[in-house]
């Protein structure tokens, strides 16, 4: 029994010695690593190499972490020096890098370094909106982002120059970057035109960008009219013309601004015609009536501006109305219809025939002249009474025929 205890005690002592040996050896390997690289700042895109001194060519791994992500690197060991090289995609991204040297899941050393943007400058510009009305607090914003060739933003307080030109004025302003960008609101002037902008940073210039400054909403305007003659011949047109339409800053409105002309007749009939502005002036035409009339005309730019009111009067055309019945009284021929100079009325002049039976209106028919003539055919099926009389109207002039008898021989 005593011999057994001695053997047990010997085995326990041996295990303790072995454990102490392993621990001492492992601790010895940990403390044998030391950082050889002293550089703490690197430029993006350069080769980044971390070297460690070790003994017995001990192999370890390097865990590298940044905002771009985390990677584990396996180094190369030669002559008791272990080196780790960051891959290009990692070395090209600026920021704070932390590293941990590990061996068999044990942390040996820790440290960090910084990658800064390289010297090369690239400028990204963003401008918007690319069109704006004049003044009234409207603005476009220029945003400039200076970066290096690897798209790393330059550090805060990098000076960026923003310049803009409008008409005869060129304005420049230097803006330091903050949170990697520099920006400026460029307020709209009171005149319409093109606003050109550009930026520069550390000797690098951008190309120009454009913003259209267009007139604001138009103000009230005036209208007038012109025509060849004042007769109501239903053929000539009256031209309606606006004044030069402008906004409150005296800018001429853009081409294509739609103007609606509304004409009201003496019978409260509404007529409309439209015109689009060219160089600020909107013209439209309205056909003259075929009888004496006065149009009350006003123009509108929907929801924005309106014009004064004008009255356009048309003179009556006094003309005799000639007509002829056929032998069977079923065809009535009117003409030649004459106009204000006794000339043949234009084709398309309206001739109106009203048919009465014993002073009761039966029907109203209209035809249009061709070469000054118009004709009406009265079928036996539609007009089967024994007698009718007719009223003929041209250019507002009216003539009434005698009573015409039908089926007199039956």
Query: Which residues are paired to 97 by β-bridges?
Result: 113
- Cβ proximity of 357 and 385 under 8 Å: yes
Residue 289 maps to a domain: yes
Within-domain flag for 12 = no
Looking at residue 21, its pLDDT comes to: 44
Q: Are residues 209 and 129 in the same domain?
A: yes
74 vs 29: which has the higher pLDDT: 74
Residues 138 and 111 both lie in one domain:
no
Q: Is 2 exposed, middle or buried (0-12, 13-18, 19+ CB in 10 A)?
A: exposed
For residues 354, 357, 362 and 364, what is the CA-based torsion angle, rounded to 10 degrees? -10
Query: Which among 66, 92, 116 is the end of a domain?
Result: 116
Instruction: Say if residue 48 is in the same domain as residue 67.
Output: yes
Pair 185, 211: CB distance under 8 Å: no
DSSP letters spanning 13-32: HHHHHHHHHHHHHHHHHHHT
- Per-residue pLDDT tens digits for 151-194: 999 999 999 999 999 999 999 999 999 999 999 999 999 999 99
Domain harbouring 52, CATH code: 2.60.40.10
Comparison of pLDDT for 129 and 32, the residue scoring more: 129
Residue 52 covered by a domain: yes
Domain total of the chain: 4
Q: What is the mean pLDDT of the chain?
A: 91
Is the pLDDT reported for residue 244 higher than 50? yes
CA-to-CA dists, residue 365 to 73, 321, 334, angstroms: 100, 17, 13
pLDDT digits (tens, 9 = 90+) for 118-159: 999 999 999 999 999 999 999 999 999 999 999 999 999 999
CATH code of residue 191? 2.60.40.1930
pLDDT band at 304 (very low <50, low <70, confident <90, very high): very high
Q: Are residues 106 and 179 in the same domain?
A: no
Query: Domain check: are 304 and 360 in the same one?
Result: no
Q: Does some domain include residue 6?
A: no
Cite the beta strand spans of 2-157 per DSSP E: 34-35, 41-43, 49-53, 61-66, 69-74, 76-78, 81-85, 95-103, 106-116, 122-128, 131-133, 139-147
Give me the pLDDT at residue 68, please. 84
Q: Is the pLDDT of residue 67 over 90?
A: no
| Interatomic CA distance for residues 57 and 42, integer angstroms | 28
Boundary residue ending a domain (263, 291, 314): 314
Q: Which residue has the tokens 């009434």?
A: 400
**pLDDT tens digit string along 281-292?**
999 999 999 999
Kindly state whether residue 410 falls inside one of the protein's structural domains.
Answer: no
Instruction: List pLDDT tens digits, range 343-358.
Output: 999 999 999 999 999 9
Looking at the structure, do residues 231 and 298 belong to the same domain, yes or no?
Answer: yes
Q: What pLDDT is stored for residue 131 in this prediction?
A: 96
Same domain membership, residue 269 and residue 238: yes
| 255: in domain | yes
- If you average pLDDT over residues 236-251, what whole number do you get? 97
Say yes or no: 44 and 106 in one domain.
yes
Same domain, 62 and 111: yes
Residue that is last in its domain, among 314, 345, 372:
314
Note whether residue 18 is domain-resident. no
What pLDDT, on a 0 to 100 scale, did the predictor assign at position 7? 60
Q: Are residues 143 and 207 in the same domain?
A: yes
The pLDDT score that the predictor gives to residue 18 is 55
Report percent pLDDT > 90 for the chain.
83
The whole-model pTM stands at 0.72
Domain of residue 161 covers 122-214
DSSP bridge pairs for 257: none
pLDDT of residue 249: 96
Q: What CATH number does residue 400 fall under?
A: 2.60.40
Name the strand (E) or helix (H) holding 209. Answer: strand 209-214
Both 287 and 267 in a single domain? yes
pLDDT given at position 14: 58
Q: For the chain, what is the largest distance between any 2 Cα atoms, rounded to a whole number of angstroms?
A: 169
Residues 128 and 200 in one domain: yes
Q: Is residue 8 included in any domain, yes or no?
A: no
Between 10-14, 129-133, 232-236, the lowest mean confidence (pLDDT) is in 10-14
């Amino acid at each position: 029994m005593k011999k057994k205890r001695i053997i047990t005690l010997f085995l326990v002592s041996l295990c303790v010695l072995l454990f102490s040996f392993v621990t001492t050896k492992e601790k010895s390997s940990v403390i044998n690593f030391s950082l050889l690289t002293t550089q703490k700042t690197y430029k993006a895109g350069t080769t980044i190499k971390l070297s460690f001194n070790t003994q017995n060519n001990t192999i370890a791994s390097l865990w590298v972490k940044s905002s771009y992500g985390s990677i584990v690197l396996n180094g190369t060991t030669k002559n008791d020096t272990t080196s780790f090289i960051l891959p290009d995609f990692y070395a090209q991204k600026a920021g704070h890098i932390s590293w941990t040297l590990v061996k068999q899941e044990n942390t040996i050393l820790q440290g960090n370094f910084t990658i800064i943007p390289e010297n090369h400058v690239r400028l990204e510009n963003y401008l918007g909106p690319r069109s704006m009305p004049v003044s009234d607090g409207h603005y476009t914003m220029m945003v400039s982002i200076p970066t290096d060739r690897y798209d790393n933003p330059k550090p805060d307080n990098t000076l960026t120059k923003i310049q803009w030109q409008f008409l005869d004025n060129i304005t420049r302003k230097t803006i330091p970057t903050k949170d990697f960008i520099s920006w400026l609101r460029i307020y709209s002037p009171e005149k319409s035109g093109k606003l050109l902008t550009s930026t520069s940073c550390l000797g690098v210039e951008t190309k120009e960008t454009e913003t259209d400054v267009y007139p604001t909403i138009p103000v009230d305007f005036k209208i007038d009219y012109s025509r060849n003659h004042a007769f109501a011949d239903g053929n000539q047109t009256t031209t309606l013309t606006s004044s030069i339409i402008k906004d409150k800053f005296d800018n001429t409105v853009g081409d294509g601004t739609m103007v609606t002309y509304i004409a009201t007749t003496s019978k409260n009939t509404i007529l409309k015609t439209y015109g689009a502005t060219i160089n600020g002036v909107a013209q439209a035409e309205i056909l003259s009536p075929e009888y004496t009339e006065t149009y009350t005309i006003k123009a509108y730019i929907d929801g924005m501006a309106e014009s004064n009111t004008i009255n356009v009067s048309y003179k009556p055309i006094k003309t005799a109305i000639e007509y002829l019945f056929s032998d069977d009284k079923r065809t009535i021929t009117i003409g030649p219809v004459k106009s204000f100079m006794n000339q043949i009325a234009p084709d398309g002049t309206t001739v109106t025939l009203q048919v009465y039976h014993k002073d009761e209106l039966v029907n109203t028919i209209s035809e249009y002249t061709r070469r000054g003539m118009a004709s009406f055919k009265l079928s036996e099926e539609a007009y089967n009474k024994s007698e009718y009389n007719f009223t003929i109207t041209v250019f507002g002039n009216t003539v009434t025929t005698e009573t015409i008898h039908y089926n007199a021989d039956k």
